[in-house]
């Protein structure tokens, strides 16, 4: 083994520490940013500035270790860093799996799968290489890999289209926040709000329930799909997508026809830009919402980029140590992370911003507004007063309190509309896009499973729907009428004396015209969601479930089987 003078000079160790620090804390995160820039709000300059701070801290730490450790430990650390560096480059560049969306959720890792085995072989080979290779040769190999990474990242980074994110407006569009003094329709979707939790939250809080002045709650409401994708189109048009054509073609046809609530335009309604976009685009419509939520949080996004890169770069055995239970490693150390780490925390800030900007326009043209909020989306990390819960056990009781936080925002919205003098002039629809996974106690699970209906099917199918018609007042009423979320557009149109289109919307009804004892067959299109379907042209294979009666009654359900032999659960 060579001496310090031969291969561990201060200059070489300094350069080695710099290479490792720059690659881990700058090049890797920037490479992720380039290919996912729409997911981030901060400008490239802001992110580079924050990441350089991390680079500096990591560099000083490595340099101190390499310069002060005894010769043998110094040699061991030198080789460990080389293994980690080369392994991170190999895994993050060539050999990483699909574990969920950009934020790593849901985290699904096969620790003993073929991918994990391949990663182990790579690290074993690198370990043998680093142990047996002369330090000088190993250093040159690391330098060559670093040069390749530097060049490829630089090329990608400098070809990145500038989005001018730093100077972009952080105000919600006026079309979304301005109401008419004469007539409005407001549809608020609280994501993943199951009917069980909604009603339990109201029953446990008399003041909360009293705030739903003039509303009718429909306890027997069936979802259309088990997840958000394509649910929004069904909520707005009543049309059901059945995988018979690409999603984009289906949505474009609805947009061109001005289906569903867009028929209100024919009688003078102004539609907010967010609604128009939702009818024709699968992805999020605009980064405006994200800008509002994450003003001056380049440090948050820099740490998240670092977390994602480390997550990609380590073998599957260690990935849960970087991201687990909706919690990132570095981001979890940040003071503001508690709100920014989850859908609900971010939506909490957005809802507050939305409430601050509501106004009445001098223009009397009627307005339609659609506001989709994730403030009720798991994880349940906020209590009833929207204070942060740290390391809480998430169960049905904490979920009820969590739902109260989201409903608290909605109640504030109702009070704001009353304060603006337009509550009676506004038809208000509160719904979820599907049920949640906390439900289940209200169902006889064994009886359903005997009929081939799983708990996940049940909990995702039971949706929230509460509607306040124009000029409606009085205590909240409860209806057991068999209705569906796809009935919402027909109900809104019926309030204006309009009929829904017959094409693609057969069977939809005005919910106020459906009697509680009515015999009515409804559909729930269930599928097993996987990450790959975010970019797929169609939904996963669909099971069509028929419900004729109350959805809590096992005898009301009938499954039509699994398409193409696909397993759906």
More confident residue, 424 or 456: 424
Q: Are 209 and 407 in contact (CB under 8 A)?
A: no
Residue 246 sits in a domain of what CATH number?
3.40.720.10
Q: 441, 424, 369, 380: which is closest to 406 by C-alpha?
A: 380
- Assess if residue 17 is contained within a domain: yes
28 and 59 part of one domain: yes
- Tokens for 151, please give them: 């060049």
pLDDT value at 503 more than 70 = no
- Helix ranges (DSSP H) in 180-257: 195-203, 206-210, 231-237, 247-257
Mean of pLDDT values over 350-372: 89
359 and 438 part of one domain: yes
pLDDT value at 526 more than 70 = yes
pLDDT value at 508 more than 60 = yes
Strand partners, 479: 218
Tell me what pLDDT residue 169 has.
Answer: 47
Burial 73-105 (b: 16+ CB within 10 A, else e): ebbeebbebbbbbbbbbbbbbeebbebeeebbb
228 and 366 part of one domain: yes
Q: 256, 308, 266: which is closest to 40 by C-alpha?
A: 308
Q: Could you count the other beta carbons within 10 Å of the beta carbon of residue 438? A: 23
- Please write the tens of the pLDDT for every residue from 211-250: 999 999 999 999 999 988 889 899 999 999 999 999 889 9
- Assess if residue 90 is contained within a domain: yes
484 and 550 part of one domain: yes
Q: What's the CA angle centered on 193, arms 379 and 203, to 5 degrees? A: 105
Q: How many domains does the chain have?
A: 2
Say which residue the tokens 């990441």 belong to: 51
**Which of these three, 130, 158, 186, is where a domain ends?**
158
Taking the C-alpha atoms of residue 363 and residue 483, their distance in angstroms, rounded to an integer, is 35
- Assess if residue 204 is contained within a domain: yes
Mean of pLDDT values over 133-156: 88
Taking the C-alpha atoms of residue 307 and residue 329, their distance in angstroms, rounded to an integer, is 7
pLDDT value at 323 more than 50 = yes
pLDDT value at 178 more than 50 = yes
Tell me what pLDDT residue 168 has.
Answer: 45
Taking the C-alpha atoms of residue 198 and residue 402, their distance in angstroms, rounded to an integer, is 10
- Tokens for 324, please give them: 């687990």
152 and 195 part of one domain: no
Taking the C-alpha atoms of residue 311 and residue 305, their distance in angstroms, rounded to an integer, is 10
Burial 483-498 (b: 16+ CB within 10 A, else e): bbbbbbbbbbbbebee
Tell me what pLDDT residue 361 has.
Answer: 92
Say which residue the tokens 């089987």 belong to: 561
pLDDT value at 94 more than 90 = no
pLDDT value at 1 more than 70 = no
Q: Which secondary-structure segment (H or E) carries 221?
A: strand 221-222
- Please write the tens of the pLDDT for every residue from 189-210: 998 898 988 999 999 999 999 9
Q: Are 507 and 234 in contact (CB under 8 A)?
A: no
Q: What's the CA angle centered on 105, arms 102 and 106, to 5 degrees? A: 135
75 and 214 part of one domain: no
Residues contacting residue 151 through CB under 8 Å, at least 6 positions apart? none
- Please write the tens of the pLDDT for every residue from 271-298: 876 666 555 433 344 444 445 445 545 6
237 and 119 part of one domain: no
Tell me what pLDDT residue 351 has.
Answer: 85
Q: Could you count the other beta carbons within 10 Å of the beta carbon of residue 156? A: 14
- Assess if residue 311 is contained within a domain: no
Could you tell me the pLDDT band of residue 316, with boundaries at 50, 70 and 90? confident
Most confident listed range (355-364, 375-384, 420-429, 430-439): 420-429
- Please write the tens of the pLDDT for every residue from 405-428: 899 999 999 999 999 999 999 999
181 and 152 part of one domain: no
DSSP string across 257-268: HT-GGGGGGGGT
pLDDT value at 473 more than 80 = yes
Query: How far separated are the first and last CA of the chain, in Å rounded?
Result: 58
112 and 211 part of one domain: no
Taking the C-alpha atoms of residue 465 and residue 510, their distance in angstroms, rounded to an integer, is 13
Q: How far is CA 161 from CA 47, 156, 157, 165, in A?
A: 15, 10, 9, 11
- Assess if residue 329 is contained within a domain: no
Instruction: Note the residue count of the chain.
Output: 569
Tell me what pLDDT residue 2 has.
Answer: 47
Most confident listed range (120-124, 138-142, 464-468): 464-468
- Assess if residue 313 is contained within a domain: no
Could you tell me the pLDDT band of residue 326, with boundaries at 50, 70 and 90? low
- Please write the tens of the pLDDT for every residue from 107-135: 667 777 788 888 888 889 989 988 888 88
61 and 151 part of one domain: yes
272 and 145 part of one domain: no
**Which of these three, 127, 158, 189, is where a domain ends?**
158
Strands (E), 353-482: 359-360, 367-373, 426-431, 465-468, 477-479
- Assess if residue 331 is contained within a domain: no
- Tokens for 53, please give them: 């701070």
48 and 110 part of one domain: yes
- Tokens for 454, please give them: 């799983």
Tell me what pLDDT residue 286 has.
Answer: 46
Q: Percentage of the chain with pLDDT > 90?
A: 36
Q: Say what the pTM is.
A: 0.71
Average per-residue pLDDT for the chain: 82
Tell me what pLDDT residue 163 has.
Answer: 47
Taking the C-alpha atoms of residue 551 and residue 553, their distance in angstroms, rounded to an integer, is 5
**Which of these three, 123, 158, 193, is where a domain ends?**
158
Q: Look at strands 483-484 and 521-526 and give their pairing.
A: unpaired
Reduce the DSSP state of residue 372 to 3 states and report it: strand
More confident residue, 556 or 98: 556
- Tokens for 219, please give them: 């306890």
Residue 141 structural domain:
4-158
More confident residue, 447 or 530: 447
Mean of pLDDT values over 518-526: 92
């Amino acid at each position: 083994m060579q001496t310090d003078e031969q291969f561990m000079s201060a200059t070489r160790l300094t350069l080695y520490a710099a290479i490792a620090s720059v690659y881990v804390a700058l090049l890797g995160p920037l490479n992720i940013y380039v290919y996912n820039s729409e997911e981030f709000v901060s400008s490239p300059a802001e992110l580079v500035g924050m990441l350089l701070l991390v680079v500096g801290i990591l560099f000083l730490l490595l340099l101190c270790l390499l310069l002060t450790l005894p010769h043998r430990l110094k040699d061991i650390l030198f080789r460990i860093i080389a293994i980690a560096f080369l392994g991170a480059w190999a895994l993050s560049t060539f050999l990483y799996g699909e574990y969920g969306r950009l934020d790593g959720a849901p985290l699904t890792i096969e620790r003993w799968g073929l991918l994990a085995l391949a990663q182990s072989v790579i690290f074993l080979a690198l370990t043998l290489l680093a142990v047996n290779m002369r330090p000088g040769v190993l250093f040159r190999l690391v330098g060559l890999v670093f040069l390749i990474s530097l060049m490829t990242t630089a090329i990608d980074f400098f070809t990145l289209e500038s989005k001018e994110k730093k100077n972009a407006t952080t105000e919600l569009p006026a079309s979304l926040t301005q109401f008419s003094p004469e007539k409005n329709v407001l549809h608020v979707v609280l994501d993943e709000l199951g009917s069980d939790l909604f009603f339990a939250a109201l029953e446990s809080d008399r003041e909360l329930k009293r705030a739903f002045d003039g509303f009718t709650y429909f306890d027997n409401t069936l979802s259309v799909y088990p997840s958000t994708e394509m649910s929004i189109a069904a909520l707005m048009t009543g049309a059901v997508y059945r995988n018979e054509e690409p999603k984009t073609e289906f949505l474009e046809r609805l947009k061109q026809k001005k289906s569903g609530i867009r028929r209100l335009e024919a009688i003078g309604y102004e539609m907010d830009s967010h609604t128009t976009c939702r009818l024709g685009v699968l992805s999020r419509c605009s980064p405006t919402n994200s800008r509002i939520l994450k003003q001056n949080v380049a440090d948050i996004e820099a740490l998240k980029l670092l977390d994602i890169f480390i997550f990609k770069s380590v073998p599957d055995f260690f990935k849960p140590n970087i991201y687990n239970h909706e919690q990132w490693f570095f981001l979890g150390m940040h003071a503001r992370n508690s709100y920014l780490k989850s859908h609900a925390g971010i939506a909490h800030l957005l809802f507050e911003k939305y409430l601050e900007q509501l106004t009445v326009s001098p223009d009397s043209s009627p307005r339609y507004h659609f506001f989709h909020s994730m403030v009720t989306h798991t994880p349940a990390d906020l209590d009833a007063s929207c204070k942060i819960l740290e390391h809480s056990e998430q169960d049905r009781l904490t979920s009820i309190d969590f739902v109260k936080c989201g409903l608290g925002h909605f109640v504030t919205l109702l009070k704001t509309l009353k304060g603006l003098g337009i509550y009676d002039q506004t038809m208000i629809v509160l719904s979820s896009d599907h049920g949640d996974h906390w439900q289940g106690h209200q169902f006889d699970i064994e009886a359903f499973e005997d009929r081939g209906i799983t708990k996940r099917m049940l909990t995702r199918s039971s949706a929230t729907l509460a509607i306040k018609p124009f000029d409606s007042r009085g205590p909240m009423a409860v209806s057991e009428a068999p209705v569906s979320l796809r009935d919402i557009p027909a109900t809104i149109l019926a309030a204006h004396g309009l009929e829904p289109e017959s094409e693609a919307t057969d069977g939809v009804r005005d919910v106020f015209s459906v009697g509680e004892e009515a015999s009515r067959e409804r559909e729930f299109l269930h599928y097993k969601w996987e990450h790959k379907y975010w970019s797929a042209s169609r939904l996963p294979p669909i099971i069509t479930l028929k419900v004729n009666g109350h959805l809590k009654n096992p005898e009301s359900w009938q499954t039509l089987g699994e398409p193409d032999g696909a397993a759906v659960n």
